[in-house]
Amino acid sequence: MAYSPGFSNPFGFTITPWVKKLMIANAVVFVITLAFGGLVSYLAFTPARVIPQVWTIFTYMFVHAGVFHLLFNMLSLFFFGPPLEERWGGNEFLKFYLIAGLGGAALSFIFPENSIVGASGAVYGVMVAFAMYWPDNPIYIWGIFPVKAKWLVGFLVGLSLFYALSGGGTVAHLAHLGGAIAAFIYLKSSLAPSPWGGVPKKKKSRDWNVLRSMGGKKQESKVAPEPRRAVVAARPIESRRSGDDVDRILDKISAGGISSLTEEERRQLEEASRKFRSN
């Protein structure tokens, strides 16, 4: 399974810091639980025992029942996670991942005596978020067969719903559904990370505050006005070209976050920031 390039990273696919850390953490915990099997009962989440073992609402996300369980979750995180982390930033991505995982734990309260383990709830949340942002992006199954993200993720969520209702592995599939539902509700709420759908919910006047923040000095909260079209014609050609470049870069930040900029674009933005402060 692979996705095509073309997200906020202009150079295509790269593994992002928190995706890498989460994959390493899951692998390390898996090895530790293989060596010390008794730890699983202290890390797995059982709704009926949540009061004395509150930590398990988080630790269960890092415990897996077998190699293939771990492999599926980590491959899914590897493919679907980086575009979201690039778009939101590391802190927002980690918060979203944990919220989806908590959603998986919440739905498992339907069967309070049963234990759940695995990152599936969080990973299903990540897949749902990917499909909401890039519904028509092709996902290549086995690197050959292209399937649109919305259909692939919809099929996986529907499959979990079917198994949950039919009684086949009910508890695990409820955790999958809980993660997916929590992700959908969160992204549709006012708490959703910005930008949503590539456009910030409240776009400031050309986001000139970006220039202030890169200058490292605290400025007044008043937003600088947009350059007046009437005076643009009086500027030198070089100045107009520079202003157009800055506008393009600010639009790119709005669409994909500051991590989407190239080194040259970062340099241009820093230079514009210095000129902005000097004026």
3-state SS, 234-261, equals CCCHHHHHHHHHHHHHHHHHHHHCHHHC
- Residues 26 and 61 reside in one and the same domain: yes
> Which residue pairs from 144-149 have beta carbons closer than 8 angstroms and sit at least 24 positions apart in sequence?
149/3
193 lies in some domain: no
In the chain, the amino acid numbered 217 is K
- Is residue 137 within 8 Å of residue 151, measured between CB atoms? no
* Choice between 262 and 124, residue whose per-residue pLDDT is larger: 124
Characterize the bridge pairing of strands 145-148 and 138-141: antiparallel
Q: pLDDT-based confidence at 261, cuts 50/70/90?
A: confident
Q: What is the mean pLDDT of the chain?
A: 78
* Choice between 128 and 267, residue whose per-residue pLDDT is larger: 128
- Domain boundaries, position 116: 2-188
* Overall domain count for the chain: 2
Q: Among residues 188, 219, 244, which one ends one of the domains?
A: 188
The CA distances from residue 177 to 1, 162, 185, 203, 215, in Å, are 22, 10, 12, 33, 45
Question: Which pLDDT score is estimated for 247?
Answer: 73
199 lies in some domain: no
Residues 6+ apart with CB under 8 A from 77: 19, 22, 23, 119, 123, 126
Q: pLDDT-based confidence at 245, cuts 50/70/90?
A: confident
Q: pLDDT-based confidence at 172, cuts 50/70/90?
A: confident
- Residues 139 and 223 reside in one and the same domain: no
Cis before 195? omega within 30: yes
* Choice between 270 and 140, residue whose per-residue pLDDT is larger: 140
User: Given a cut of 90, is residue 113 above it in pLDDT?
Assistant: no
Phi then psi for residue 138, to 5 deg, are -75, 135
